[in-house]
Structure 1
């Protein structure tokens, strides 16, 4: 690990820790506060990829994954009103979704890096965010995967309700996933501004 990569690693670790804490607090009916901090992980990955290259970005992703695993281990030991704060399904879903989505982000960004400046970060984040949401919510809450942790009752997530209270009737976890996905897509667009600014600042320092 190079010293110049340390700020990116620390930023990723801070985002993962903050998101693991904030996910415990609801924001409205369909979201948690963690939904607004977690997408910043894609911003960190993309900045590192643009300035230092894909290998540096992958190191940051690994650091974030390790931090997430440690947070999950701690979460399994903390018991709330309904049991452990982090169940086995949530731990597996979180880790697998993070690693898959972030590495996919790195690969897509690297493939598109020669295009217009906004193309690589936007496309890689949109694709990575979609995969992240689909993997996490399916593994953590889908009734079809209850075999992963038979003792964990997630029947509440399968309650059939209108999508976000308005659309077709779907399992509750689908509404939660859809709301999370929309936040990620919105932040992917907003993050282009700090991406441009941070890349410009770091590039100026390294030249």
Structure 2
């Protein structure tokens, strides 16, 4: 029994570390707009790294189940917040931690409901639902003026993004523009993440992957 317990614990180390790395990188990179092709008002580099958290979550859920996936999320949440406090401001840590926790738990719930469907449906639907919630929570808490208390309560200057920018012919707050751009990239990255997800599934769970392909063939 102790050997089995130690083996299970060791198996969870890689998902936990991978989750923490994805969260910490995203917390840092979200502070840096993409200064190419005029995207500085609608996109940050964090949009490219955060979808890896959903990949780690979904692979953990598929391999070990939702209970283990939640443990990885809780560990990633705790360590991610600690690293965010050290690497970023308290406001960003609170925004990132809240968005991460609720979005990842939603991801687990959606994935678990769809896990018996075609292999790509569960991770894609879960990542998209989680990305919507994550984007709304993070950008509003981190940059919207109504939540400036998350800065001032710690004696820091208000870090709200109050500038107005033009987007699709309308004037919108800068933080909302960044949120929409961020979400657009997350959608694209969610599709791209299906490639490594499918490759890993085909390698370590070929029966699940093959079942999805067979079902696709029958329905085509």
Bucket of the pairwise TM-score, normalised by the shorter protein: 0.7 to 0.9
Q: Is the 8 A contact 2:51 2:193 kept in 1?
A: no
1:101-116 mapped onto 2 (5 Å cutoff): 101-116=103-118
Structure-2-length-normalised TM-score: 0.80
- Unaligned regions of 5+ residues in structure 1, if any? 76-85
What pairs up with 1:28-177 in 2 under 5 angstroms? 28=35, 29=40, 30-75=42-87, 86-150=88-152, 151-155=156-160, 157-163=161-167, 166-177=168-179
TM-score (norm 1): 0.84
What is the CA deviation profile of residues 67-122 of structure 1, one whole-angstrom value per residue up to 9, with x for unaligned ones?
211112213xxxxxxxxxx3332221111000000011001100111111111111
Q: How far apart are residue 140 of structure 1 and its match? A: 1.1
SS in structure 1 of the partner of residue 158 of structure 2:
coil
Q: Give unpaired runs (5+ residues) of structure 2.
A: 1-7, 207-220
1:199 aligns with 2:201: yes
Which aligned runs of 4 or more in structure 1 are off by greater than 4 angstroms?
Answer: none
* SS, match of residue 26 in structure 1: coil
- Comparing 96-105 with 23-32, which one deviates more in the overlay? 23-32
Structure 2: distance between partners of 1:64 and 1:132: 15
| Shift in CA distance, 173/21, structure 1 to aligned 2, threshold 3 Å | closer
Cα distance in 2, alignment partners of residues 200 and 187 from structure 1 = 20
Matched with 1:20 is: 27
Task: Tell whether the 8 Å contact from 1:31 to 1:180 is kept in structure 2 after alignment.
Answer: yes
CA radius of gyration, larger in:
2
Aligned residues: 191
Cα gap change, 1:175/1:87 in structure 2, threshold over 3 Å: closer, same or farther? same
Q: How many Å separate the matches in 1 of 2:104 and 2:174?
A: 26
Q: CA shift at 1:24, angstroms?
A: 4.4
Distance 1:66 1:134, change over 3 A: same
In the alignment, the residues of structure 2 paired with residue 160 and residue 123 of structure 1 have an alpha-carbon distance, to the nearest angstrom, of 32
